[in-house]
Structure formats: C-alpha cells, structure tokens
Amino acid sequence: MKVLVSDNISSKGIEILKKAGLDVDVKTGLKPEELKSIIGEYHALVIRSATKVTADIIDAAKNLKVIGRAGSGLDNVDKAAASKKGIVVMNTPGGNTITTAEHTIAMMFAIARKIPQANASMAKGEWEKKKFMGVELFNKTLGIIGLGNIGGEVAKRAQGLGMNVIAYDPFLSEEKAKKMGIKKMEIAELISQADFITIHTPLTAETRNLINAKTIKTMKDSAYIINCARGGIVNEKDIYDALESGKLAGAALDVFEKEPPENNPLVGHEKVVCTPHLGASTQEAQENVAIAIAEQIADYLIYGTIRNAVNFPSIPADQVAVLQPYITLSEKIGSFSSQIFEGGITEVTLEYRGDASLLNISPLTIAAIKGLLTPILEETVNFVNAPFIAKERGIEVKETKSTDAGDYQGAITMKITSPQKILSVTGTLFSKRDPRIVKINDFTVEIVPEGNMLFMYNNDKPGVIGNIGTLLGKNNINIARMHFGREKAGGKAISVVNIDAPVTHKILQEIKNLPNILDVKVINL
Ligand SMILES: NC(=O)C1=CN([C@@H]2O[C@H](COP(=O)(O)OP(=O)(O)OC[C@H]3O[C@@H](n4cnc5c(N)ncnc54)[C@H](O)[C@@H]3O)[C@@H](O)[C@H]2O)C=CC1
Ligand SMILES: O=C(O)CCC(=O)C(=O)O
C-alpha cells in the first residue's frame, strides 16, 4: 500500500508508516495539477493545511482509501466528495491544543508589551524606550469567545497570570463554566467588558465576521484583539479601521482571511503582531499529530480499524445496509436541530419509534449527537468521541423506544433541552432511504434536509414568501424547495427554503429586516 505525505510532518510519523510496512513518498509543495496527476497511485494521503484536497483531486484518486490530517482543521478537504467515494477522512483533535493555547498567550504578551516592534526597532540600531510603553495583563479582563479545548487551556493560563477571565460560548453549560472559575455571559456583555478579546471558535456561518465594525464600536477604548482560530472570524478591514482610529490598541493575528495574505495592510502595521499560522507549530505538537495520524492510517490500511474519522461510523458489516439510512437521518436531525437552536444544552433525548425502535440504536444516537455537535465544534467531533464530548460538556443523553410510530413506519425525534427552552425535531425515511424532517415542535412540515437552507420563524401574513423570493432572486440565488408550517391561520409560522447557493451576511441581514420575519437561521447540511 502506498502513502503520499504532501505537507511537512514530523519524521516520527513517517517512521511509523514505514515500520508498518507501507510504501511512503514525501512530496511537499505539489501544485494542484501535479497532485492530481499522481494521486491515483496512492492508498492514503497525509496532509496538514497546505494541500487542498478538492473534489477534482478526489475524483482522480482511484485507489485512495483514507485522507489523514495531522492536526484538526479540515477546511482544506472536500469531505462531501470524499464521503461519496467512500474515502475515510480522519484528523487528530487535541494533539495541538496546548501548543495553540501557548501561542495565544505569547501573542497576548507580544501586543501588550510590543515585543516584536521593539525587537525590530533595536535591530535597526534604535533604543526607543518611550515608544514601547506597554500594559500589564495582571488584573485585566480577558474575554474568551469559544471555550472549547484551546479556549479552556487559554483560560487556565490567563487565570494563572491573575487575569479576570470571562467567556462567551452559547454551547457551554453554566455549570461547566462555574467549575472552571469563569463567568459565562452573552457576547455583547463580554465585548463591552473585556480589555483583551481572544477567539477560539471554528469558522462557521455564525462566527464568520463575528468581530466587525458594529461590535468593535461597543468594545472598550484601547481594547486588544487576538485571533489564533481561523481567518474570517474577525473582519480584517474593520480591525484595520479601528486600529487607525485609535479605538483598538492592538491586534495579534495568527490566521487570515487569505493565507498567505496578499497586500494586507494589517501585516507590518505598527499596532499589529502577525504570525504565519504558527499556532500549532511546535516540535511537541507536530510530533503528537504526526504520530497520531501515522498510527491511525496504518491501523486503517492494515487492520481496517477506523479512529477519529469525521465521516464514517464504526458499525458491524452485516448491519451497514439497514442502519446506514437511519444513521444519515439521525446525523441530519442532529445537525439541523443544532443549527436552529440557541442556548446552553443540558439534555438531549432521542426517541426511536416504529421500525427505528427495532434497530441497534446506539450508532444512531452517536450519529445524532455527532450531528448536533459538529456545527458547533466542527473538526473536533467524530463518530467515536461524540458521546464523550457531550458528557464533558454537561449534556445528558437519553434514549427511549416505542413500537408505535404514529403516521410513519419509523421515526426518530431529538428533543434538546436548555434551561430556557426545549426544541423537538422529528425525522423519518421516505421510501426507506430518503431523510425528511416531518415535525419541528408543534409545526408539521416536510423538509428535505440537504445543502444550503434558510430557516425562518415568521408571522403567517400575505407577502412574506413573495418578499423572500424577490430578495433571493435579486441576489441571483435560486430556490430549490420551500416548505411551510403554521400553528393556525394568521398565527406564528415557520418557513424553510432550500437554496442553490449560500447567502452572504448582508443578504441574511436584509432577510431579517423584511416585514413579518421574526428570526432567520442559515443551515448547511
Ligand atoms: N492557529 C492554529 O494553528 C490552530 C487553530 N485552531 C483553530 O482553533 C479553533 C478552536 O479549536 P479547538 O479549541 O480545538 O475547538 P473546539 O471544538 O474544542 O472548541 C470550539 C469552541 O467554540 C465554541 N463555539 C462554536 N460556535 C460558537 C459561537 N458561534 N460563538 C461562541 N463559541 C462558539 C464551541 O462551543 C466550542 O466550545 C478552531 O477554529 C481551530 O481550527 C486549532 C489548532 C491550531
Ligand atoms: O497544521 C498546522 O500548522 C495548522 C494547524 C491548524 O490550524 C489546525 O490543526 O486546525
């Protein structure tokens, strides 16, 4: 079996692959057409973030069984194309957590004390003591947006420095935050209270452009911002304007909207410290992730054991045919529910009815939990660790079974509970194969859960649908399907629109401002 390593990984990983008897080629810096021309020879591909594994590359990968990411981010892999071809996509969540948290703290010190700027000045022969007056971190408030693995490690370190740590993470329970000695609050409150703001969320529809001109306006004067998560979460132009106007005292950026950045005025700006996506770049982290991915790939190619796969559950071979459609349905119900729900989840109940109650439900529950957590945690959740992550986050998972499925042959309902509200989403299979969402709370619907969608609560009034259609049409976005459900004529209604292209933040705002629209969410399945 042949393995292609197309990005730089630690030699420890290569040794493991070779020792396992695999034939390893290391070819880094390949152009897309070069990779496409050779990928057909390989059974496994090992990458970091530089190699772009597009649908085109996957199409040419005639023998490929597995793509392994030494690290966590999989935004450079077309996972849907890989899944369609049965290629397992795996990563190594956790291997670079400490390293990235340490980089964040280093970046915070660097902007607070202007260390890189002072170093550059001394290298030019200057001795500019006055110019590089800094601020202490002690007693300052650090606002962490996204209190997951890295955010949690940053919090511990910042507490050790005597900082007052506050956090915003809509998916974190109050209890967990309390245990960590952190005050959990809404984002607006955090932004207005923090002296330093650091971001540790994935880049999702919700977090794209999270820090923008509007939010910056509500920050303290002379606040600092740090982004070691993903480019695109902070709006680079708005940060630049705020630095120029003096609203922001400094920014530390490890990640960029475009990497490497081109003509980006933040690079080299006197109030900015930049690093070229170095968050995970330590010997220790690179060894961790290289060893982990090499072991995972060898285990899969040699023994068929799947670990840390983001697109495949482990189920006994004889159950695959019957379980797979229900696994897809469960994952879609979870993902759909997560994208329309807001609040710290404390409990999730999966109700299996009719045919579904007669199945081996444990992989279905795992798939539903994975679906629920993936839009929130993106790369860190897989078919193996989903239940553990839920538990760690204080989410209690319950299952119930009933042979009575009402109007359907088999149905699965996910009930999500937070201290403030409950959401219930029911799905079924049409023709034993095709997933449909058929109930959302008390609204009866018939939604095809796939691709880009808009989910809206609206008043059941004439003109609502026409307005949405006109606005999308004006923006050249084609509507594939529309579904409606209402409590009663003239009451509260839900509208779900399947669209052929994603909507931009601006279009989303325009939809929100249409008459009789109460709330809009973007869904991607
Ligand atoms: N700079 C670098 O080299 C590296 C960057 N990263 C990036 O760091 C980020 C965080 O990674 P991990 O901590 O491992 O992920 P994680 O999955 O453990 O944590 C992410 C946290 O963000 C929260 N979150 C999701 N949506 C949110 C929203 N709208 N508002 C507030 N919080 C939200 C989640 O609840 C979760 O607690 C990811 O974007 C990852 O790709 C990771 C490793 C290295
Ligand atoms: O491999 C790297 O250097 C980037 C790490 C990263 O961003 C990730 O693991 O998500």
Q: Mind giving me the DSSP string for 204-267? A: -TTTTT-B-HHHHHTSPTTEEEEE-S-TTSB-HHHHHHHHHHTSEEEEEES--SSSS-SS-TTT
Q: Containing domain of residue 189, as a range?
A: 97-274
Is the pLDDT reported for residue 379 higher than 80? no
Report the predicted TM-score, pTM, of the whole model to 2 decimal places: 0.79
CA distances to 79, 183, 245, 299, 303 from 292, in Å: 20, 34, 46, 11, 16
**Range in 69-78, 176-185, 308-317, 423-432 the model is least confident about:** 308-317
What CATH number has the domain bearing residue 3? 3.40.50.720
Is the pLDDT reported for residue 193 higher than 90? yes
172 and 69, same structural domain? no
pLDDT single digits (tens) 475-496: 999 999 999 888 888 889 999 9
53 and 109, same structural domain? no
Q: Tell me, yes or no, if 287 is annotated catalytic.
A: no
360: Cβ–Cβ under 8 A, 6 or more apart, which residues?
315, 319, 323
Residue 192 burial (10 A CB sphere; 0-12, 13-18, 19+):
middle
137 and 36, same structural domain? no
- Ligand 2 pocket check for 96: Cβ under 6 Å: yes
What CATH number has the domain bearing residue 449? 3.30.70.260
Q: Pairing between strand 347-354 and 410-417? A: antiparallel
265 and 193, same structural domain? yes
**The pLDDT of residue 316:** 63
Q: Tell me, yes or no, if 43 is annotated catalytic.
A: no
Look up residue 182 and give its two tokens: 């952190």
Q: Give the total number of structural domains in the chain.
A: 3
187 and 76, same structural domain? no
Is the pLDDT reported for residue 515 higher than 90? yes
Look up residue 509 and give its two tokens: 């705002």
240 and 141, same structural domain? yes
pLDDT mean over 196-225: 95
Closest ligand 2 atom to the C-alpha of 73?
A: 10
- Name residue, tokens 């490890």: 254
Is the pLDDT reported for residue 320 higher than 90? no
254 and 125, same structural domain? yes
Measure the CA–CA gap between 120 and 267, rounded to whole angstroms. Answer: 14
Is the pLDDT reported for residue 210 higher than 90? yes
What does pLDDT average to over the chain? 93
Is the pLDDT reported for residue 86 higher than 80? no
110 and 64, same structural domain? no
**The pLDDT of residue 59:** 95
Residue 106 burial (10 A CB sphere; 0-12, 13-18, 19+):
middle
Residue 366 lies in a domain: no
Q: Tell me, yes or no, if 102 is annotated catalytic.
A: no
Do 471 and 513 contact (CB within 8 A), yes or no?
no
Residue 151 lies in a domain: yes
- Quick one: how far is CA 61 from the chain centroid? 26
487 and 464, same structural domain? yes
Residue 425 lies in a domain: no
Of the residues 34, 175, 259, 487, only one is catalytic, namely 259
191 and 162, same structural domain? yes
Residue 413 lies in a domain: no
pLDDT single digits (tens) 219-235: 999 999 999 999 999 99
- Ligand 2 pocket check for 8: Cβ under 6 Å: no
Q: Phi and psi of 362, rounded to 5°?
A: -65, -40
106 and 5, same structural domain? no
Do 135 and 112 contact (CB within 8 A), yes or no?
yes
Is the pLDDT reported for residue 285 higher than 80? yes
- Ligand 2 pocket check for 72: Cβ under 6 Å: yes
The ligand minimizing its distance to the Cα of 144 is 1
Nearest residue CA, atom 6 of ligand 2? 73
User: Comparing C-alpha atoms, which of 334, 347, 380, 317 is closest to residue 152?
Assistant: 380
pLDDT single digits (tens) 149-158: 999 999 999 9
Residue 270 lies in a domain: yes
Q: pLDDT band at residue 36, thresholds of 50, 70 and 90? A: very high
Nearest residue CA, atom 5 of ligand 2? 280
pLDDT mean over 348-365: 93
Residue 386 lies in a domain: no
Report the SS3 class of residue 50.
coil
Do 136 and 112 contact (CB within 8 A), yes or no?
yes
Do 73 and 230 contact (CB within 8 A), yes or no?
yes
Identity (one letter) of the amino acid at 55?
A: A
Residue 353 lies in a domain: no
Residue 355 lies in a domain: no
152 and 246, same structural domain? yes
